[in-house]
Amino acid sequence: MSQTRRLAAILAADVVGYSRLIGLDEGGTLQAFKAIRAELFDPTIAAHNGHIVKTTGDGLLVEFSSVVDALRCASEVQAGMGRAQCDGTHGQSN
């Protein structure tokens, strides 16, 4: 029996302070996280040919066939979150 091996880059992401945020406002935190996934995470992952392997309450494991794609995706998500926090729009659908 032959084995097929492949290389993959794995991106692990989670929300800093998620438990604290859930404790302060569970409904608002869940709504904001869903919006951030839909508006930023999911499109950025798809744009860089990523595949979500697993989700947890506040995190994602994403597989990429290219390290470059994984790093570009992570950088774009970080930049997007920074912009959203600066202008106060993170998690708010238009």
Q: Considering the entire predicted model, what is its pTM?
A: 0.83
**Which pLDDT value is given to residue 90?**
56
**Which pLDDT value is given to residue 67?**
96
**Which pLDDT value is given to residue 94?**
42
Number of H helices, E strands in the chain: 4, 3
Per-residue pLDDT of the chain (94 residues; tens, 9 = 90+): 688 888 999 999 998 899 999 999 999 999 999 999 999 999 999 999 999 999 998 899 999 999 999 999 999 999 999 887 777 655 554 4
Residue type at 46? Answer: A
Question: CA distances (Å), 65 to each of 43, 55, 71, 84, 92, in order?
Answer: 17, 19, 11, 28, 32
**62 in Cβ contact with 73 (< 8 Å):** yes
Name the one residue in this structure whose structure tokens are 């912009």: 83
